[in-house]
Amino acid sequence: MDDFKLIIDGLYEVFYENKKSTDILNKIASKREDISYITRSIYGVIERKLYLDYIISKLSKIKIKKLDKKVLLILEVGIYNIHFLDRKNYAIVNELVNVTKKESNKSKGFVNAILRSFIRDEENLSKINIKNEYEYLSIKYSCPIWIIEYLNLSYDEDFTKKFLLSLNDKRFISIRVNNKKISKDDLKKILIKRGYKVSDSKISKLSLRITNPSKLASTNEFKAGLFTIQSEASIKVCEELNPKERSNILDLCAAPGTKTSLIGELVNNNANIIANDISFNKLSKINENIERLNLKNIEITNFDASEYIAEYKEKFDYVLCDLPCSGLGVMDRKPEIRYNRDMDGVKKLASLQKRILDRAFMYLKKGGILLYSTCTLGMYENLDNYIYLTKKKRLKNIAIDDKPYIEYTPFEDNTDGFFMTKFEKI
């Protein structure tokens, strides 16, 4: 019952207090040795919420929106365990009824009836009886309709369906090798000896893929700065920026500092780097990465990147614009994103990105390099901003892998949805 309490409280924080699932699980992990079941249940309910609520709506005379929040979570956890974890027994019902007694005693009979009814008629109740294609896909993949419509608009229906199919796929973790301290082959051998399943990245030269990453950040190799946990597309961004020693470099939206730290490694601590972020609370994370990797010549600043800084005019040889975005490309790792975004928010972010890109352009020296990237999908934040940059007369596009821009997708590249494009000021 203690596990269920942690799961339900964690889900409450995600859905009703806008907390991040990763932060919640990290907090639980600091107190528990094995949280595999808790992790699977929290992520499972988030990934399947719309489908779970659809089933509950068939069984409940009370509308979903009128149900007590904790009671709804208890039902979602119960349906998920019964249907997806194959825990088809009444013992789990009894456990969840006992949890209900502590959260809302008057609802214990209601929860008991709903879960027992589902066990008795699971085959029929689990079917989706909806003819509208978008509504059907939304419930089947627990993805809001606006995202489906937006992806169809930005790409096509085939793309959208492949993306939805890939949403809940299990993915590997990628790490960045610090080749100033160890070769990729030597690190690979060490990690394999420790029992990790390791393979080379198909995207980044500095990256390795780990399919069983449990306790990776607790290894001596991580603590010694031999590698950093970072998505391979994110690593590719810095490889393409390709900063040189004795240059001035600005990372405009740097938190949590993984790209900044890679830039520091690439220039051998021999460049002037400014790592900026608007969020003061995130600056400590940037500093943590810098200190762990023993990096130097990095100044941390805290200003709004959309505001103009006069002293930065034509000062920098490189400006990295890995900008705030909707994050639709990382919904597999951060499944709650699908519930706390909307189309209006995407358009506002696209507008903010353009303002920041305007500032970045002004900060570049002639011959300087600007690299724009996001971890999202969709035309407003990606292709439209590429086109926006091409219209600046003093910017020349530089191909990445013989393309004007790259857009990775989870279903084609088995990595985060990620966009990047590169320009030189002429």
Q: Domain map of the chain by residue range?
A: 2-127, 133-168, 170-229, 232-425
Residues of the chain with pLDDT under 70: 1
Please check whether residue 351 is in contact with residue 299, taking contact to mean a CB–CB distance below 8 angstroms.
no
**Right CATH number for 232-425 from 3.40.50.150, 3.40.50.720, 3.40.50.300, 3.40.1230.10?**
3.40.50.150
- Does the active-site annotation cover 375? yes
Given this model, what pLDDT does residue 9 score? 95
Instruction: Provide the pLDDT for residue 222.
Output: 93
Instruction: State the residue for tokens 């857009």.
Output: 407
At 229, is the secondary structure helix, strand, or coil?
Answer: strand
Tell me the per-residue pLDDT of 231-253, one tens digit each, with 9 for 90 and over: 999 999 999 999 999 999 999 99
Determine the topology of domain 2-127 in CATH: N-utilizing Substance Protein B Homolog; Chain A (1.10.940)
Phi, psi (degrees; rounded to nearest 5) at 307: -95, 145
- Residue 30 is predicted with a pLDDT of 84
Tell whether domain 170-229 is in CATH 3.30.70.1170: yes
Q: Which long-range contacts (CB under 8 A, 24 or more apart) does 235-238 make?
A: 235/174, 235/176, 235/201, 235/203, 235/204, 235/206, 235/207, 235/262, 236/203, 236/204, 236/207, 236/406, 236/418, 236/420, 237/320, 237/322, 237/371, 237/373, 237/420, 238/262, 238/263, 238/266, 238/320
Please check whether residue 251 is in contact with residue 302, taking contact to mean a CB–CB distance below 8 angstroms.
Answer: no
Question: Two tokens at 240?
Answer: 């393409």
Alpha-carbon distance of 60 to 82, in angstroms, equals: 17
Q: Report the binding-site residues for S-adenosyl-L-methionine.
A: 277, 304, 322
Q: In angstroms, rounded to a whole number, what is the distance separating the alpha carbons of residues 281 and 292? A: 19
pLDDT of residue 1: 52
Beta bridge partners, 248, equal: 272
pLDDT score of 394: 96
